[in-house]
Amino acid sequence: MKNLNLVHLNGLRALEAVGRLGSLQAAAEELGVSIGAVSQQVIKAEAQLGQPVFHRLPKGMAPTDAARPMLARLTDGFQSLSEAVGLGRQRDDTLLTISVAPVFAARFLVHRLDRFTSLHPEIRLRIEATTAMADFVTDGVDLGIRVGAGKWPGVDAELLLSQLVFPVCAPALAERLKEPADILRLPAIVDGRAMFSWEVWFRAAGLEPVPMTVRHVFNEASLCLDATIAGEGVMLAWQTLAAYALEQGRLVEPFDIRAATGFGHYFVTRAGSRPPPKVRAFHAWLRGELAVLEEP
């Protein structure tokens, strides 16, 4: 490891970040320093190596052909260091850190956490609401709940609940609906980022897919749900999104027709690891909570 004495570690970090991200600005944001500091580190490291590492281009920094193998090794090396630090951090067996999508946290999880706490008062919860997949080695996250097809690299994903979609609306609007075709009389509230469309429900209901009259489009399912509760129209919801509002009577599911999307709710953990007791406790509790949502 004598070669490590030739270049300062901060210089190597700057080279690796710029090489992977392609610009001084992106590297500075990741490293939490100024663009000027990254630039100086790169210049100093190139001088210590005795050769340029990057071509300076109008739109960023591109590695030289000679530097590419070195930068790839640096990325592997810093990833290993990051994992080593993650493994070396002291874990608190009383704190459970959960990574979940914001809509799952807001619409389903927070309304039920008191039930988990009553069963396991010794476990404190930290909820990280994000759509990004956690790095279970470096982020300090114990488990994740994700909706998708379950094919994420580097993790173990167990299906908890297949996602089914169905119309929901305010009680006053539901009075107008006598049969599935009547749904076309109501304006639709649309989630612009949904992984499915009304077509999947129309087919399940035996209807020919036709365009809905759209009243509002949001890029967030929670906003769609709020607009639907306010009586603005009908939306295509799923079990965990609508469960609490249905329990409260703020929304109605007018027909007992649900359509599969091909996606599901998954319990996600680090690949190949044996979950500790706190994770197994949450897993058992969550399976019970989701089990009651399997039927209309």
pLDDT reported for residue 123: 95
Residue 291, burial from CB neighbour count under 10 angstroms (0-12, 13-18, 19+): exposed
Q: What are phi and psi of 135, to 5 degrees?
A: -95, 110
Q: Residue 60 has what pLDDT?
A: 83
pTM comes to: 0.69
Which listed CATH number (2.60.40.10, 1.10.10.10, 3.20.20.70, 3.40.980.10) goes with 2-88? 1.10.10.10
What's the confidence (pLDDT) of residue 218?
93
Q: What is the pLDDT of residues 80-91, one digit of tens each?
A: 776 666 555 546
DSSP-assigned states of every residue in 112-174: THHHHHHH-TT-EEEEEE-SSPP-TTTS---EEEEEE-S--TTEEEEEEEEEEEEEEB-HHHH
Amino acid (1-letter code) at residue 127: I
Structure confidence by residue, pLDDT tens digits, 194-246: 889 999 999 999 998 888 889 999 999 999 999 999 999 999 999 999 999 99
249-272 pLDDT, tens digit per residue, is 999 999 999 999 999 999 999 888
Q: How high is the mean pLDDT of the chain? A: 89
Q: Which of 3-17, 105-119, 146-160, 259-273 has the lowest mean pLDDT?
A: 3-17
Domains 95-160+263-291 and 163-262 share a fold: yes
pLDDT at 132: 79
According to CATH, the superfamily of the domain at 95-160+263-291 is Periplasmic binding protein-like II (3.40.190.10)
